[in-house]
Amino acid sequence: MSTSTRNRPRPRTPAQDRPHGNRGGRRRSVPVWPIPVTALVAAAAITVAVLLPGLRNSRPPAAVPPPAVTALVATVDGQDIPVREFALYLAQERAATFTHFRQKFGADDGPGFWTTEHDGQTPAAYLRERALADVTRVTVELDLAHRQGLLADSGYDAFLRNWRTENARRRQAVATHQVIYGPVQYTESNYFTYVLSNLAATLRDRLTDTRAITTPDSALRSYFTAHRGDFPHQSFATAHEEVRQAYVLDRYRALIARLAGSAQVRVRHQVFDAVPVA
């Protein structure tokens, strides 16, 4: 029996299995967006690669940890100045520094106050310089008291030992119902001010007793005339003792200023610049 092939379906080719592009209307064009997007992605990658090092470098530096309280800020004529001592002078000069920059430059208090430059100087740098001048002046004053036999040790460690001893004495006095004068406990700053004030008065007396500071009558009369407004409605005779005390104080301050001006100050800037000011 013969087999007819007339009506046998022809095998389909792979091309015929594909969907017809013109079915249902015009042939759609191949989208063109993949090429531009690829280019943009590549360009972005290049841009990031180029800018990333710069972005890393532009990040604010990590905060420098404050130095230890025992770290040395400077030496004054060989005397060590630790951070703990220097911090007292920073605290004393902070209000004056703020007032200076507010009045001269109109600077307002805020997060950037201490680090904003005015005429090339920040309030932080100005404050540190004032504190350094203060600690230099006091250090030569304490050294002079030591040389005059009024102070056994002019170092800050000795001051801290005396402060703790005095507070312990006061605690004991209160516990045993003894009378004490002044606070029950001194803060470090208050005790430093108290000791320095009393020591300066004693040192002035010692310098006049040893004639390191002299008070001739002619010098006192000249001082009285130059400062007549400080002694209103008084004659030289009635104001004599007040004039003498004022004159001695003036000569004493001039002496300390000369000693401070000639002192050898060596600043350790790595510590000095890192001491917090606020």
Q: Compute the distance between CA of residue 267 and CA of residue 86 in angstroms, rounded to an integer.
A: 12
Which pLDDT score is estimated for 25? 42
φ, ψ for residue 217, nearest 5 deg: -60, -35
Tell me the mean pLDDT in the region 64-83.
95
What's the pLDDT tens digit per position in 110-168? 889 999 999 999 999 999 999 999 999 999 999 999 999 999 999 999 999 999 999 99
Beta carbons within 10 angstroms of residue 271's beta carbon: 19
Mean pLDDT (the chain) is 84
Residue range 223-256, pLDDT digits in tens: 999 999 999 999 999 999 999 999 999 999 999 9
- Angle (nearest 5°) at CA 23 between 17 and 28: 100
Q: Is the dihedral of CA 230, 235, 236, 241 positive or negative?
A: negative
Cβ neighbours around 141 below 10 Å, total: 21
Residue 17 amino acid letter? D
Widest pairwise Cα distance in the chain? 163
Confidence of residue 93 (pLDDT cuts 50, 70, 90): very high
